[in-house]
Amino acid sequence: MELHTHKRLNILFKNPFRKLLQVTTGRLVKQIKDMPDNLFSSQSVDDIVNDLFEEYKIGDLPIIFWEKGTTKISNVQLTSQDLPSSFDRGFNGTIERKKIDFFIPMSDGRHDIMVYRQDKIDYNKAFVGSMSYSTKAFNPVGVPYVIDGNKLQFTYIDLWQNPEKTNETFFDDKKIFNEFYLGLKTTIEEYNFNLPNVLRSLVNQRIEKSKRDEEYESKLVFPIVSDPNLTDFFIPKKVLKSKKIQPKPKKITPDTPAYEWYITEDDYANILKILHDCGKMWEKYPRLYKGRDEETLRDQLLFVLVPNIIAVVAGEAYNKKGKTDISIKHENTNLFIGECKIWKGPKTLLETINQILKYLTWRDSKSAVLNFVPNDDFSHVLDSAEKTIQQHPNYISKIKEYEKGWSNYSFRLSEKSDVTITIAFQFVHTPELYNID
């Protein structure tokens, strides 16, 4: 097989990055277009832009540690067809040559946009660092360039049995590689630098459209008809004065100036009251929840939280070791996280407690588990849940029962931890959940 020329690297970095930009641009434009009008009365443009920037910025490329490279040598068998035309191909069988693999360690980063790949890459999903990419399909004599996890690999077949020639080819490839690497790095930096202004422009356009639509609707003789399946409670209105979350700073350690943020008890109570009122409304109007799944019920809760809280409210937000159903943030710090679950018995409740404890860090001191109970015997479920909660190994005590179906409990973050966190448990009776007309 003939050693390839520099042209083999000319396609590096281009196709995946272009595709990434296409997908990213399409997603952010759609997300801004689909934003509910009431969002703009409950959050400032700066907050919306900052939140979108964190979601759509492109992470840094990995740092490549060329000076820490290692070499692996193995033998491969080549047939006459594997050799270039300048070699003597007049033999049968195989000849043996050395395969040289140069391994260059890399830090974490956006490995996925550093190579060309004809296979489809789904950029709508989070990048997983263990994925493997290559400039072309692997064959028995190797490929010139591969990224696998945190490792950059150049592979050469020493047809000439000349290690100096292999080194020379590698250094030529390294030079071309670095040219594309630095070019892509600059492009990403420019993209991230310009992104806030682009987002601000799109958000302001969306706000202007909302104002034009509102002005148009105000001139009609009759009020706009809302979704007949929703009560007024779920119809967003202009928020004259939202309950503003006012996080407080806390030193990370006594001897450092660095701070983390935490949510106050008043703000925590306000959030829980909103969620509890939603549950009461579901119990009063079963058509609001009938035939819904966990995700749809969560979206209804977000639908009510967003216009009532001046903070970044998100669904399925990434936090530590997984995704939380509801997340309220300040300066990228989680002030509150919540999980929404359909009641399926004590075992599932214990798993949910473990799940929410796994998501928490020391600063995530406030959380909630919202349980939708389709069982007819609601009182029996509450008794079972109470016993289950108290059986958890991290359970400390019951803080307060606010009313039937809503109590707050104190837990240790882990069995051996002295960090105490609060979890509110709310149970909503939804006996017609699986009743679909």
Q: Between 323 and 51, name the one with better pLDDT.
A: 51
- Chain mean pLDDT for the chain: 76
pLDDT of residue 417: 78
Q: Lowest-confidence range among 16-20, 86-90, 396-400?
A: 16-20
Highest mean pLDDT among 50-54, 102-106, 265-269, 324-328: 102-106
What is the gyration radius of the CA atoms in the chain, in angstroms?
29
Question: Is residue 319 pLDDT above 60, yes or no?
Answer: no
pLDDT of residue 252: 64
Which own/partner pairs from 204-208 qualify as long-range (CB within 8 Å, at least 24 positions apart)?
204/45, 206/32, 206/33, 206/35, 206/40, 207/40, 207/45
Question: Is residue 191 pLDDT above 90, yes or no?
Answer: no
pLDDT of residue 94: 86
Q: Lowest-confidence range among 50-64, 263-277, 297-311?
A: 297-311
E strands, 88-182, are 95-105, 132-134, 145-148, 151-158
Q: Lowest-confidence range among 74-78, 258-262, 317-321, 327-331?
A: 317-321
Per-residue pLDDT of 56-73, as tens digits, reads 888 888 999 999 999 999
At residue 102, the 3 state secondary structure works out as strand
> What percent of the chain clears pLDDT 90, i.e. is strictly above it?
21
At residue 31, the 3 state secondary structure works out as helix
Q: Phi/psi of residue 68, each to 5°?
A: -105, 20
Closest CA to 285 of 341, 233, 343, 225: 233
Give whole-number Cα distances, 296 to 118, 235, 288, 376, in Å: 36, 16, 10, 22
Q: H or E element: which one contains 185?
A: helix 163-218
Per-residue pLDDT of 37-53, as tens digits, reads 777 766 788 888 988 89
Closest CA to 112 of 97, 125, 100, 128: 128
